[in-house]
Amino acid sequence: MKAMSWRVGGRRTRTLVGRGLLGRPGLLARMLPGADRVAVVTDARCRRLFLPRLLRSLGRAPDLVHLLPRGERAKCGAELERLHRALLAGGFSRDSALVALGGGAVSDLCGFAAATFMRGVRWACAPTTLLAQIDAGLGGKTGVDLAGVKNAVGAFHQPEAVLCDPELLESLGPRELRAGHGELLKYALLFERRFPATSAVRPPRGAALERAVERCVRWKMSVVAQDERETRSRREVLNLGHTFGHGFEAAARGALRHGEAVLLGLRAAVRLSELEGLLPAPEARRLRGLLAALPCPRPRLRAAEVLRHMGADKKRRGGRLRFVLLRGPGRPVVAGARAANVARVLKEIL
Ligand code: GLY
């Protein structure tokens, strides 16, 4: 098991990575000392598959097990209010703690409830998908969607502890693993100058998967520790592939998983980097070839609709879209781009 710790915004946040750690008796209890009440926030599938292990780790019966609907439907104001009401009714206080057991939608909603209940209570996270173990469950971005805009309302609120157990990923289907792999490739493109150096271009399994999770946690948290609130372009680079990706995901209306949309978004970002004169053409061709070899659904999307959704991107400044682009693997830059080049990328990709 690897135990890692960072100071973010003056507070300590710890992440453990290791096979089988979710079931270790008392582990989570030791990471959340002194909580007067504990609520586990999860969905029906994760409750069935993983709750008994989490309870061993918690070392006590939770005061509340709160079920959310599966997937993105959990991330709305109505579900946030339902959780807040359950906490109030259950006598939860400022000294209580929440534990998210699930994928990114569960940790986003639970983290935001923790950020806002009684002006902020402690929380911990046990991510159950690859995407959540390497991205969504780390770094304290929490929130809900509003009016079709992803994460339109939210807060930065660091979990005190994150338990990443790669054994949980064995229950994921190939599509879900592939979706998480899109985020894994994002990190590799951002941090590996000799891409693909450590990261397999195919989704890793077994011990390689555990090493990949640990590597991504280190990469992500070292950035978050320097720029928690994305006020400098340091944390912004973690959005490589996401400006296009959010547009693809929203326009696909459920036909693309987040990580699949990010994979398409990485292809788009590489091509845009080339058109903007940042990435030399032979390197761009090589990277696009590697990314295009990965299977990904291709729903029919309209460029105008993708562009409309991209317009809601939070990186926008002064009405102008900003993109994370590459001068090469391991060399990201945050920049604007010519509208004609963005339109050309969409025409080629869709
Ligand atoms: N998913 C990007 C970030 O946490 O900053």
For 133-174, how does the pLDDT look when each residue is reduced to its tens digit (9 = 90+)? Answer: 999 999 999 999 999 888 999 999 999 999 999 999 988 888
**Alpha carbon distance 122, 225 (integer Å):** 18
Residue for token pair 């507070």: 11
Q: Does residue 47 contact residue 65 with C-beta atoms inside 8 Å?
A: yes
Whole-number Cα distances in Å, 192 to 109, 215, 247 = 32, 11, 26
What are the tokens at 92? Answer: 């939860």
| Residue 235 Cβ contacting ligand 1 at under 6 Å | yes
Q: Is the pLDDT of residue 39 over 80?
A: yes
Residue for token pair 């946030």: 80
What are the tokens at 259? Answer: 């990580």
Pairing of strands 97-102, 38-43: parallel
| Residue 66 Cβ contacting ligand 1 at under 6 Å | no
| Residue 139 Cβ contacting ligand 1 at under 6 Å | yes
Task: Please state the pTM of the whole predicted model.
Answer: 0.93
* 225 CA to centre of ligand 1 in angstroms: 12
Residues 6+ apart with CB under 8 A from 99: 28, 32, 38, 39, 40, 41, 54, 58, 62, 110, 123, 124, 125, 126
**Alpha carbon distance 54, 270 (integer Å):** 40
Mean pLDDT value of segment 205-219: 93
- The pLDDT assigned to 171 comes to 83
| Residue 19 Cβ contacting ligand 1 at under 6 Å | no
- The pLDDT assigned to 274 comes to 98
Q: Is the pLDDT of residue 319 over 70?
A: no
Range picked from 78-82, 170-174, 209-213, 298-302 for highest mean pLDDT: 78-82
**Alpha carbon distance 210, 171 (integer Å):** 15
What are the tokens at 177? Answer: 């693993």
Q: What angle do CA 41, 46, 52 make, to 5 degrees?
A: 90
* 61 CA to centre of ligand 1 in angstroms: 32
**Among protein residues, the one whose CA lies closest to atom 2 of ligand 1:** 238
Residue for token pair 């025409």: 347
What are the tokens at 257? Answer: 């998983």
Residue for token pair 């009714």: 89
Q: Is the pLDDT of residue 316 over 70?
A: no
Q: Which of 153, 137, 143 is nearest to 220 (CA)?
A: 137
What are the tokens at 105? Answer: 């939608």
Q: For residue 329, say if its preceding peptide bond is cis, omega within 30 degrees of 0.
A: no
* 237 CA to centre of ligand 1 in angstroms: 9
Q: How does pLDDT run across 185-204, given as a tens digit for each residue?
A: 999 999 999 988 766 677 88
Q: Is the pLDDT of residue 337 over 80?
A: yes
The enclosing H or E element of 157 equals none
Q: Does residue 330 contact residue 190 with C-beta atoms inside 8 Å?
A: yes
| Residue 238 Cβ contacting ligand 1 at under 6 Å | yes
**Alpha carbon distance 42, 53 (integer Å):** 13
Q: Is the pLDDT of residue 94 over 80?
A: yes
Residue for token pair 């991510």: 127
| Residue 141 Cβ contacting ligand 1 at under 6 Å | yes
- Nearest ligand 1 atom to the CA of 223 is 5
**Among protein residues, the one whose CA lies closest to atom 3 of ligand 1:** 238
Q: Which amino acid is at 293?
A: A
DSSP bridge pairs for 126:
101
Cβ count within 10 A of residue 314: 17
Q: What is the DSSP letter of 74?
A: G
